[in-house]
């Protein structure tokens, strides 16, 4: 099925009004089929930018298209393709990022840590001091334990050289390295 903006508008209007789950599913699937070309175009543009093959990009892109269709708001006056392309590309980029993590960690914790960093950077840009754990948790709508888990994930993903100094102390030219600790543990 070729891309048809009028068909998209009709199906999206029906989907927005529809309340029956079976009919919503049929309408959504028709929209996905009608817009597969969009997924293929984005996959072709993304191919070679990472390690995912074309078929994997298309599969993941379809999930992004489904999310775009489900969240589409016809009252905003945008076309489906305008809304869908960022969802499709984002799904592909998330999959690429998730597959290439040196340590498999929950995406929700990585995303929480990104939100923490973004909020703290905004505050820094306005000349405000960093927020404490409690204030951060309230501002982001999460528990302090989740913040700590997200920070631990961030630390785990931060790769360091074995010969990088663990801590720099003033006047200490022979700083201890991770390699020193590993070799001491092997000798002991």
Q: Tens of pLDDT along 131-170?
A: 999 999 999 999 999 999 998 888 877 666 777 777 655 5
According to DSSP, the residues that pair with 165 across neighbouring strands are 177
Class of domain 5-99 as given by CATH: mainly alpha
Q: Buried b / exposed e across 117-155, counting CB within 10 Å, b at 16+?
A: eebeeeeeeeeeeebeeeebbeebebeeeebebbeebbe
**Contact between residue 92 and residue 48 where contact means Cβ atoms under 8 Å apart:** no
Beta-carbon count within 10 A of 45 CB: 13
- Mean pLDDT in residue range 112-137: 92
Of 61, 29, 30, residue with least CA distance to 44: 61
Cα distance between residue 86 and residue 89, in whole Å: 5
- Mean pLDDT in residue range 74-78: 84
């Amino acid at each position: 099925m070729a891309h048809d903006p009028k068909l998209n508008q009709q199906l999206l209007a029906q989907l927005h009004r529809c309340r029956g789950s079976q009919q919503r599913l049929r309408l959504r699937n028709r929209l996905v089929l009608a817009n597969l070309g969009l997924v293929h175009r984005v996959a072709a543009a993304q191919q070679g930018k990472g390690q995912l093959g074309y078929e994997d990009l298309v599969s993941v892109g379809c999930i992004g298209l489904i999310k775009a269709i489900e969240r589409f708001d016809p009252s905003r006056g945008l076309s489906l393709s305008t809304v869908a392309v960022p969802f499709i590309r984002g799904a592909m980029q998330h999959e690429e990022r998730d597959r290439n993590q040196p340590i498999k960690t929950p995406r929700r914790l990585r995303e929480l840590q990104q939100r923490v960093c973004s909020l703290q950077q905004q505050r820094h840009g306005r000349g405000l001091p960093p927020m404490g754990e409690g204030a951060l948790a309230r501002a982001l709508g999460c528990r302090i334990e989740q913040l700590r888990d997200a920070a631990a994930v961030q630390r785990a993903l931060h790769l360091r050289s074995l010969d990088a100094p663990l801590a720099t102390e003033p006047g200490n030219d022979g700083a201890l390295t991770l390699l020193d600790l590993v070799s001491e543990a092997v000798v002991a």
